[in-house]
Structure formats: C-alpha cells, structure tokens
Amino acid sequence: MKVFIVYCHPSEDSFTSCVRDAFISGLKDAGHEYIVSDLYKMDFKTDMTEAEYLRDTYYRNTPAPADDVLAEQAKINASDVIVFIYPVFWSEAPAKLVGWFDRVWTYGFAYGEKTMKTLEKGLILCSAGNPRERLEEFGILDSMKKVMLGDRLFGRVKQAEFVVFDNTSREYELREKNWEQHLKTAYEKGKNLLTHP
C-alpha cells in the first residue's frame, strides 16, 4: 500500500513526533510505501489568497490551484491511504493543518467535479493533553470526530478511523505511564493498516 502521511507539529520535542515514528516503523515492517508532508518543516502556506477564495466560493475550476497545492493533491492521488498525525490544540487540529484543508480541498478536486480518488482508508492519529474522560464529558472528542470524519474525510475514503492518544500533557503522570502502550498502538496501526478498528 502507498501511504500519504500529513504530519503537523511545530516541535520534534513532542510525544506526537514519537507517534509518527512508531507508526512509520509499523508501516516499514509491513512493507508499505509512504511519503510524509511535514507541514511545519515545509513551511506550508495555509492562508487562502483572495483568488483562491473566489475560485472555490464560485465553484470554478480556474485559475488552476497553486503549485504547492497541486503537489499535495498529486500525493493524495498517488496513494491508497491518507493519515493525519497531529496534536489537539484547543479542541481542533493545529491552524496549519486546518489551513492545509482550506487550500488543498479545492473545488474540482475534493468536491464538485471531483478529481480526488476515493482512498482505501483515512486514519487520524492525534495526541491530546486531556484525559479521554474529559474529552468525552464535554463532547470535545465527538466534535473532533465529526469534523475530521464527517466533514473532511466524508465520501473521500472507504474506511475511516480516529485514534486519540490521551493524557499526553507533560503535567499528567499518566503521560509516562501510558507512553509505551500509546506508541505500541501507533506501531500496530501502521503494521495492520487496513484492519478494522
């Protein structure tokens, strides 16, 4: 399988970078091919221009998307699976990843006269500082799933899965206690990519 990883974290000194590495180890051990777009290292431009906004808001295929957007779209169409790895910032993906969707999910590619292929799977691996219980109590986890699975990936993947690694804040004792189990889960998600959750 060909896997496209969209990775979004501003620091290599993070639990999220360890999730990425464990997941990639699983992919390698299973013999999958992969490519990574590291949005911060790429300095991916996330603000839409007025021309990009007007193109999409009027459902136009012209002008053609910018070269950096076309490059991301080509990576998607050359893959079988798309994976998003990121930390939760204020109940949402980082602004840079949200901006990636704003610019890459263009009219004529992700919706309208779609040229985006339907991928075998979409997988979200996100790290959250809060405990899962708190994310569930306030409806945050359900909200995150609805946005990623019900809006951004809906109809664009055959199978979707959302995995949250909770208690990853440096202030929680459970960060260290759960560290190895979380990374084992990330590894298994890479190794057993197309098995159902």
pLDDT at site 185: 95
Residues 6+ apart with CB under 8 A from 28: 190
pLDDT at site 170: 65
pLDDT at site 169: 72
Domains, the chain, with CATH or none: 2-191 (3.40.50.360)
pLDDT at site 148: 97
> Which residue, 111, 107, 98, is CA-closest to 144?
98
In single-letter form, the type of residue at position 5 comes to: I
pLDDT at site 46: 95
pLDDT at site 134: 87
In single-letter form, the type of residue at position 54 comes to: L
3-class SS of residue 97 = helix
pLDDT at site 133: 87
pLDDT at site 115: 97
In this predicted model, what pLDDT tens digit does every residue of 70-127 receive, in sequence order? Answer: 999 999 999 999 999 999 999 999 999 999 999 999 999 999 989 999 999 999 999 9
pLDDT at site 172: 57
pLDDT at site 197: 59
Residue 185, phi-psi category: left (phi > 0), alpha (psi -120 to 50), beta (remainder)? alpha
CB 130, CB 90: distance < 8 Å = no
pLDDT at site 196: 64
Query: How far apart (Å, rounded) are the C-alpha atoms in residues 147 and 131?
Result: 20
pLDDT at site 155: 95
- Residue ranges of the chain whose pLDDT lies below 70: 170-175, 196-197
